[in-house]
Amino acid sequence: MMKTQFFSSKYIILSLFLVFIIGASLIVPDDYKINENTRVNKLLATLGIPAVDHFPKTDIFGVSAKRGKAIVHDGFSSRPGGGTTRRQSKHFVCTSCHNVEREDPDLRISDPQARLEYTNKKGLPFLQATSLYGAVNRDSFYNGDYYKKYGDLVIPARGDIREAIQLCAVECAQGRKLKKWELESILAYLWTIDLKLKDLNLNGSEIAFIEKAAKNKTKKDSAATIILSKYKKSSPATFGTAQDSKEAVAQLEGNPDNGKLIYDNSCMHCHNDRRYSFYSLDYDKLTFKHLEKKAHTYGNHSIYQVARFGIYSKSGKRSYMPQYPMEKMSDQQLADLHSFIKQQAAG
């Protein structure tokens, strides 16, 4: 009996201790300050907004952000038991189609021209897929017209980042399914490139209001609303058609200087020396003459066809080209690209 009472008292004391520790971790100190590197997810949690359920399962053997980064950038990593893994894909790595830095000047808006100018200044490519930077701050994936491409495969992926990563690995990268420790390692890495306060373009009064709300536990909902209004929690995707774009471009005036940015930062990213493609692009005049000749055709060398439909994989060649949603390349940008090609072909 005494032994039972002893253990009961012991567990009561332990429980009270845990409650104290957890409670103490939730207390916001009087000198609480936020700065440009404050993590958005952590700040929202302080304001009472439940954290997104994207945290890695670090109890799985081998999980590490370092390995996740290697898989994202290189396609393989060190193996927990020694040695290296097989390449996840023979054709692509994550950075073939995704940046890993912020690529939009205003995270509230999906503006392809603003993105082109912003990425060009930062020395980043202009890509079809959404940046992995801030991916863990989103709650929806493979949105909009991606259902037209992948069908029911997008249903489990839309609300589950793990399913989205696996869909990207198998279907988009045309590679093998990730092992559990690889998947969780990628998630761990993605948490190193989550959104920070500096990404939200908050003004001074907004920062002061949010800091006061977090410190005093007052007007937390209003503060959280300000934060959540500063970035999209999903990336829209609208697929166009080659014919519609051709008709739209016919009514537009192209800017060859802007077209050069697209050619350099997008086309050449994959096609320069066949980096991720079977077709090589360069600055030879004959290359531009060929592109101009094929522009209004319906083949794989038409800029309109490949931009709006991509290029499908062939038997024995699983590599392919993904299309550009309208939010990633506008008709005006296609007009600019075509005008640059014409200029180079005639020059």
Considering the domain architecture, whether residues 202 and 87 belong to the same structural domain is answered as yes
**Residue 274 — very low, low, confident or very high, per pLDDT cuts 50/70/90?**
confident
Residue 280 has pLDDT above 80, yes or no: yes
Q: Which has more confidence, 319 or 153?
A: 153
Mean pLDDT computed over 176-203: 98
Rounded CA separation 67/53 (Å)? 21
**Residue 200 — very low, low, confident or very high, per pLDDT cuts 50/70/90?**
very high
Region label for 151, one of left (φ > 0), alpha (ψ between -120 and 50) or beta (otherwise)? left
Considering the domain architecture, whether residues 211 and 298 belong to the same structural domain is answered as no
Considering the domain architecture, whether residues 246 and 231 belong to the same structural domain is answered as no
Given 188, 208, 237, the domain boundary residue is 237
282 found inside a domain: yes
Average pLDDT, the chain: 90
Task: Report in angstroms the alpha-carbon separations of 13 from 4, 21, 169, 240.
Answer: 14, 12, 48, 64
Q: Which two tokens stand for residue 119?
A: 């990425």
Residue 47 carries which DSSP code? Answer: T
Q: Number of folded domains in the chain?
A: 2
Considering the domain architecture, whether residues 58 and 153 belong to the same structural domain is answered as yes
Residue 148 has pLDDT above 50, yes or no: yes
Residues linked to residue 317 through DSSP beta bridges, in sequence order: 314
Residue 272: domain span? 242-346
pLDDT of residue 277: 74
285 found inside a domain: yes
Considering the domain architecture, whether residues 66 and 202 belong to the same structural domain is answered as yes
Indicate the pTM of the whole model: 0.88
Mean pLDDT computed over 325-346: 97
**Residue 275 — very low, low, confident or very high, per pLDDT cuts 50/70/90?**
confident
Considering the domain architecture, whether residues 229 and 260 belong to the same structural domain is answered as no
209 found inside a domain: yes
Task: For residue range 45-103, list pLDDT tens digits in order.
Answer: 999 998 788 899 999 999 999 999 999 999 999 999 999 999 999 889 999 999 999 99
13 found inside a domain: no
Considering the domain architecture, whether residues 183 and 274 belong to the same structural domain is answered as no
Task: Report in angstroms the alpha-carbon separations of 44 from 48, 94, 101, 199.
Answer: 6, 29, 22, 15
Q: Which has more confidence, 272 or 229?
A: 229
Given 182, 210, 237, the domain boundary residue is 237
Q: Rounded to 5 degrees, what are φ and ψ at 66?
A: -65, -45
**Residue 278 — very low, low, confident or very high, per pLDDT cuts 50/70/90?**
confident
pLDDT of residue 10: 45
Residue 184 has pLDDT above 70, yes or no: yes
Mean pLDDT computed over 119-148: 97
pLDDT of residue 318: 63
Considering the domain architecture, whether residues 181 and 98 belong to the same structural domain is answered as yes
Chain CA centroid to CA 123, Å: 17
Given 178, 206, 237, the domain boundary residue is 237
**Residue 181 — very low, low, confident or very high, per pLDDT cuts 50/70/90?**
very high
Residue 9 has pLDDT above 70, yes or no: no
